A = this chain, B = another copy of it.
Amino acid sequence: MSNTLGSKFRVTVFGQSHSPMIGAVIEGVPAGIAPDMEAISAFMARRAPGKDDLSTPRRETDAPKIIAGLNERGETCGAPLTAIIENADARSKDYDALRDVPRPGHADYAAAVKFGGHNDIRGGGQFSGRLTAPLCFAGALAMQLLKARGVRVQARIKSIAGIEDAPCDLAHPPLDAIAGEGLPCLDADAARHMADAIRAARDAGDSVGGVVECFATGLPAGLGDGMFDGVENRMARALFGIPAVKGVEFGAGFAAASLRGSANNDAFRVENGRVVTETNHCGGALGGITTGMPLVVRAAFKPTPSIALMQRSVSLGRMENAELTVQGRHDPCVVPRAVPVVEAVVACVALDMMLEGELSWN
């Protein structure tokens, strides 16, 4: 089910960068919910391109239109909720030459092999970051439902181009201290240096990557399912669906591999009649099941593969080496716009697990 995420809250994304429309079909939305279109639009605006000098000049209003799934009162009715977004500012002429010479770091070549050369080359086709817009629609809806259950999902930029934001206590992430303006970091100085690094890369015709760290607080203990459907399995499967993600880790993550057990284990404590852990190196999940502590997950984004510099590639038609200079409008760093996308994906998975719910058989 390649374009479908989730089991109870099932999001099927469709579209390509330059197809007439993109969108999502969402099955399993509880009935009786009136989507908060204002909140959804505000959330999607965080991802939309063309906001500042750090992102692509492509301008899309990204206004989702719900075409099915609501009753006459504007509430979800049990039918799949379906939303479409028009692709307005698509300039296909930029991409005409790319079918023969695949862009390094892009899916062009792999997709040409897989689809016998029929893949949609315009703007990266179905591999485009543009497909994260419907994901954000689904995520914003998921957040509306999660919020009503006391669950909050929020991400920050952990690093860009090797510049690190301040560390924080994973057991008590300071969500309100994440900047609401500019780059969403804890440390304003770090944010400034990151922005400078993006501009420097852009001016050099190059690009940079980074790491997004996402927190979900308020999740009850006991969510997730064994072995291959635990919290990490699902979150990882979902997050690798975001273009450019090359690594996913939870809690202490790769750093845990260098710790001793006595340092990495999170001691349990009783606090206000509730079991908590003193630290949160596990990132809120043990054995694939939530512990009730904040979920902490990080996704590593590679630098944007589209760069203005000349690159070495091949001509697939002539089967010989070739040079390539990528035209078009690109983000010198996808990380700032990826922050809400990571939140959206984490929210979709979190809601899915909550809807599966605990089995209250006895």
A80 at interface, CB cutoff 8 A: yes
Chain B residue at smallest Cβ distance from A258 = B162
Task: Determine if A22 is an interface residue (Cβ-Cβ < 8 Å).
Answer: yes
Give 13 new A-B contacts, CB below 8 A, not counting A15-B68, A32-B361, A232-B240: A32-B116, A72-B92, A84-B84, A114-B222, A201-B260, A230-B240, A236-B236, A247-B256, A254-B300, A256-B303, A259-B303, A267-B312, A270-B320
A42 within 8 Å of B (CB atoms): no
Interface residues of A in 219-265 (CB under 8 A from B): 221-230, 232-234, 236-238, 240-241, 243, 245-254, 256-265
In whole angstroms, how far apart are the Cα atoms of A222 and B234 in the complex? Answer: 24
Which B-chain residue is minimally distant from A266 (CB atoms)? B104
Given the known A-B contacts A110-B222, A291-B110, are A206 and B20 also in contact in the complex, defined by CB atoms under 8 Å? Answer: no
Chain copies in the assembled complex = 4
A120 to B31, CA, bound (A): 10
Write out the residue numbers on chain B whose beta carbons fall within 8 Å of the beta carbon of A67: 15, 19-21, 23, 84
B113 x A257 contact (CB < 8 A): no
Collect the chain B residues with CB atoms within 8 Å of residue A107's CB. 286-289
Kindly state the separation between the CA atoms of A159 and B4 in the bound complex, as whole angstroms.
35
Residue of B nearest to A127 (CB): B287
Closest to A126 in B: B79
Measured between beta carbons, the chain B residues less than 8 angstroms from A251 are: 246
The reply to whether B79 and A120 form a contact with Cβ atoms under 8 Å apart is yes
Check if A252 sits within 8 Å of B246, measured CB to CB.
Answer: yes
Q: Kindly identify, within residues 66 to 116 of chain A, every residue whose CB is under 8 Å from any CB belonging to chain B.
A: 66-72, 75-80, 82, 84, 92, 102, 104-111, 113-116
The smallest beta-carbon distance between A244 and chain B, in angstroms, is 9
Can you list 12 contacts pairing A with B, beta carbon distance less than 8 Å? Answer: A13-B227, A32-B116, A78-B120, A107-B289, A109-B291, A126-B226, A162-B257, A237-B237, A253-B300, A265-B311, A269-B312, A355-B361
**Chain B: which residue is nearest A110 at the CB level?**
B289
Contact, CB under 8 Å: A208 / B71: no
Query: Would you call A121 an interface residue if the criterion is a C-beta within 8 Å of the partner chain's C-beta atoms?
Result: yes
Number of A interface residues in the complex (CB < 8 A): 158
Q: Of B27, B162, B311, B358, which one neighbours A114 at CB under 8 angstroms?
A: B358
**Closest 4 pairs between A and B when the two form their complex, measured CB to CB:** A107-B287, A247-B249, A207-B261, A110-B289
A314 at the interface (CB under 8 A from B): yes
| A113 / chain B contacts, CB cutoff of 8 Å | 221-222, 289, 292
User: A150 within 8 Å of B by Cβ?
Assistant: no
- Asked if A319 is at the interface of the complex by the 8 Å CB criterion, the answer is yes
How close is A226's CB to chain B, nearest CB, in angstroms?
5
Query: A131: which B residues are within 8 A, CB to CB?
Result: 227
Chain B residues with Cβ below 8 Å from A117 are 32
Q: Please determine whether A206 and B262 come into contact, CB atoms closer than 8 angstroms.
A: yes
Q: Of all chain B residues, which has the CB nearest A84?
A: B67
Q: Which B residues lie within 8 Å of A72 (CB)?
A: 18, 92, 120-122
Contact of A5 with B by CB under 8 A: yes
Looking at A43-51, A55-63, A181-189, A275-283, the stretch in contact with chain B turns out to be A275-283
CB contact between A80 and one of B3, B33, B115, B287 (< 8 Å): that residue? B3
CB–CB A250/B260 < 8 A: no
Q: Mark A141-163, 1 if CB is under 8 A from B, else 0.
A: 00001000000000000011110
CA distance A210 to B255 in the complex (A): 9
What is the distance, in angstroms, from A123's C-beta to the closest C-beta of chain B?
A: 11
Instruction: Give A260's nearest chain B residue, CB to CB.
Output: B206
